[in-house]
A = this chain, B = another copy of it.
Amino acid sequence: MSITTPQGFRAAGVSAGLKANGGKDLALVVNDGPRHDSASVFTSNRCKANPILWSQEVVKDGVVRAVVLNSGGANCYTGAEGFQTTHAVAEQVAGNLGIGAIDVVVCSTGLIGLANPRQNLLDGVDEAYAGLGDHGAEAAEAIMTTDSVSKQVLVEGAGWSVGGMAKGAGMLAPQLATMLVVLTTDAVVPAADLDAALRAATRVSFDRLDSDGCMSTNDTVTVMASGASGITPSLPDFIEALTQACTDLAMQLLRDAEGADHEIAITVLNAATEDDAVEVGRSVARSNLFKAAVFGNDPNWGRVLASIGTTDAAFDPADLDVAMNGVWVCKQSTPHADPATVDLKQREVSVTIDLKAGSERATVWTNDLTHAYVHENSAYSS
């Protein structure tokens, strides 16, 4: 169950010497076709890393034949030298495969402002090329940074499948997390349909993760379709499978968020618009006070209402209902069930907010704010 389970894909994960601990740090994923349709979404951060600047050009024609990814350095804010490194890596992949560099997506992750050692990367590409095979698991391992586990998924269709891998354990914020994702499928899906499917899938999965409100400079999600199964699923069927794969990976990212003790699902009901529901959910997901309260197993619904009040969504401030783990602790903006009856000890916490302003809904996911989060992000650069 990996990115190499769908037919037409090979991968490798090797040690190029970027990680100080000698672990795997370079992954190569190749689409052997017969088709090379692709779609990608990137961070909406205006400060983009060099691999993003390169890959945005690569994906424009809807054709991607390979994705090369490295951990151990984000190649962000490293100047012209850094961009040349990205370009050289794409050329090295292309030279080995006998394709054009303009069909090679490059992804990097790690510390900002740190130049990646170019020769290590080029040698790593050669080694990865030599080792290409059914090695999706090794590739997933090679893109880990502060991740404690590698993340993979497989969703089966009727004679076709979607495979995926992801890395990310913090900076999980709107419009993508610090997160690299590669998805593969052997279904026949023209690039335009892939693009529509990817946007539909990421909109309700990765885009609704908001672990710590911080948006990365390097986020990339790329899907490649080889068409090797010869089967053309209906677009709704494909969107459903791709959304399932993205949601599964998103939940794996959430559960591995740096230092978190709780996964928190904030569901906003009866909003006037879906955007309102997302805005309200995100406002709660960004409240350090609320997140610290959850860490302390304190069902502090006042902090939920204070967050809702900062939004422009449609609602009556005097008529809000809030439940935590199914207990309606606040009805009509006044105390209702005794908060002491809410048990927050288990990892999974649900917050339900009824805006009573319409019929739309959305769920936003976040984590609690813990000592371990502060420790991980103060004791180490990342």
Q: Which A residues have a C-beta under 8 Å from some C-beta of B?
A: 45-48, 74, 76-79, 111-113, 170-171, 212-217, 286-289, 292-293, 295-296, 298, 300-303, 305-311, 317, 320, 330, 332-335, 369-371, 373-375, 377-382
Query: What B residues does A47 contact at CB under 8 A?
Result: 305-306, 308-309, 317, 320, 333
For A45, give its contact among B77, B309, B379 (CB under 8 Å): B309
Asked if A289 and B212 sit within 8 Å, CB to CB, the answer is yes
29 A-B pairs with C-beta separation under 8 A: A45-B306, A46-B317, A47-B306, A47-B309, A47-B317, A47-B333, A74-B302, A77-B334, A77-B335, A78-B335, A112-B303, A113-B301, A113-B302, A113-B330, A113-B334, A213-B288, A214-B303, A215-B306, A215-B310, A216-B306, A288-B373, A289-B377, A292-B374, A292-B378, A293-B377, A293-B381, A295-B374, A296-B379, A369-B374
For A305, give its contact among B77, B309, B377 (CB under 8 Å): B77
For A381, give its contact among B78, B298, B382 (CB under 8 Å): B298
Asked if B217 and A305 sit within 8 Å, CB to CB, the answer is yes
> Quick one: closest B residue to A297, CB to CB?
B378
For A112, give its contact among B295, B305, B374 (CB under 8 Å): B305
| Cα-based distance from A377 to B289 in the complex (angstroms) | 6
Query: What B residues does A310 contact at CB under 8 A?
Result: 45-46, 215
Q: Give this chain's copy count.
A: 2
For A333, give its contact among B77, B307, B381 (CB under 8 Å): B77
Query: What B residues does A76 contact at CB under 8 A?
Result: 302, 305
> Quick one: closest B residue to A174, CB to CB?
B310
Asked if A378 and B305 sit within 8 Å, CB to CB, the answer is no
Query: What B residues does A375 contact at CB under 8 A?
Result: 371
Query: What B residues does A334 contact at CB under 8 A?
Result: 77-79, 113
Query: What B residues does A305 contact at CB under 8 A?
Result: 47, 76-77, 112, 217
> Quick one: closest B residue to A290, CB to CB?
B214
| Cα-based distance from A215 to B113 in the complex (angstroms) | 33
15 new A-B contacts at CB < 8 Å, known A79-B334, A369-B378: A46-B309, A47-B306, A47-B317, A48-B309, A77-B302, A77-B333, A78-B334, A112-B305, A113-B335, A214-B289, A215-B306, A217-B302, A288-B369, A288-B377, A369-B377
> Quick one: closest B residue to A294, CB to CB?
B378
Tell me how far the C-beta of A280 lies from the nearest C-beta in chain B, rounded to whole angstroms: 11
Asked if B377 and A374 sit within 8 Å, CB to CB, the answer is no
Q: Which of A77, A213, A308 has the most CB of B within 10 A?
A: A77
Asked if B214 and A170 sit within 8 Å, CB to CB, the answer is no
Query: What B residues does A374 contact at CB under 8 A?
Result: 292, 295, 369-371, 373-374
Tell me how far the C-beta of A144 lies from the nearest C-beta in chain B, rounded to whole angstroms: 19
Query: What B residues does A308 contact at CB under 8 A?
Result: 46-47
Q: Which of A288, A300, A332, A380 has the most CB of B within 10 A?
A: A288
Query: What B residues does A380 contact at CB under 8 A?
Result: 296
User: Which 6 residue pairs of A and B lie closest in terms of their CB atoms, listed nearest first?
Assistant: A112-B302, A47-B309, A296-B378, A292-B377, A79-B334, A45-B309
Query: What B residues does A74 contact at CB under 8 A?
Result: 302
Query: What B residues does A292 contact at CB under 8 A?
Result: 373-374, 377-378
Asked if B306 and A112 sit within 8 Å, CB to CB, the answer is yes
| Cα-based distance from A374 to B291 in the complex (angstroms) | 9
